[in-house]
Structure 1
């Protein structure tokens, strides 16, 4: 029997195993993971700093590789934080998308970048 696993579950299990092999469990508290996630997000932003828009044509291969690696770090810390917090990340994302759909009806906000409280 084949069990279908979504990619987030697979990444969660790989991250769990990676941390367990290194006995990092005591360090992977929700607070520490949230802080690490923030640091990695800042490192991602660094690759775009001072670029006009960050569009693909402004990036060389070194920047693309750095962005790819930082995005992976952000994703892995996010998955680990969700795991430690008991959050089903896929379900939470789908729930949040539905809430955003209600907050930002397409016919009212199309082409408008303002926050929902401003229109």
Structure 2
């Protein structure tokens, strides 16, 4: 994925439509939430089996909503001058500390189902 090329495409699309005045972090975060809700709606009422085996139509719909989510997320990063790759790497380091594999006594920590 060439994030810089994607950012250029998103910015050009926005500028061509004179949407810059509307693309502030508040509005973009609300739009991101709406798109995430639209993705959620695809899976509403599906069983775990159905959710893992979407019809071609639902799969395409999910793909489009995921793209919308990514576009708004990247646009927010652009507005707030956040390097998404750096932010993800930093957050993963925090997650590793929050969810360690070994406890303070040297025992392996098991995450997930405990039957």
TM-score by length of 2: 0.86
Counterpart position of 2:5: 10
SS at match of 1:106: coil
1:49 to 44, 48, 61: 44
Listed one character per residue, the Cα deviations across residues 91-118 of structure 1 (whole Å, up to 9, x for unaligned) are 00010001101111124543337xxxxx
Q: Greater relative contact order (Cα 8 A, min sep 6): structure 1 or 2? A: 1
Please tell me the root mean square deviation across aligned C-alpha atoms, in Å. Answer: 1.4
Structure 2: segments with no counterpart, 5+ residues: 103-107
Q: 2:81 and 2:74 mapped to 1: Cα distance?
A: 10
Structure 1: segments with no counterpart, 5+ residues: 1-5, 114-119
Listed one character per residue, the Cα deviations across residues 61-110 of structure 1 (whole Å, up to 9, x for unaligned) are 11000000000000000000111011111100010001101111124543
Counterpart position of 1:75: 70
Q: Is the contact between residue 8 and residue 90 of structure 1 (CA under 8 Å) also seen in structure 2?
A: no
Counterpart position of 2:105: none
TM-score by length of 1: 0.83
SS at match of 2:45: coil
Counterpart position of 2:20: 25
Note the C-alpha offset of 1:52.
Answer: 1.1
**Change in CA separation of 1:109 and 1:17 when aligned onto 2, cut-off 3 Å:** farther
1:39 to 34, 37, 45: 34
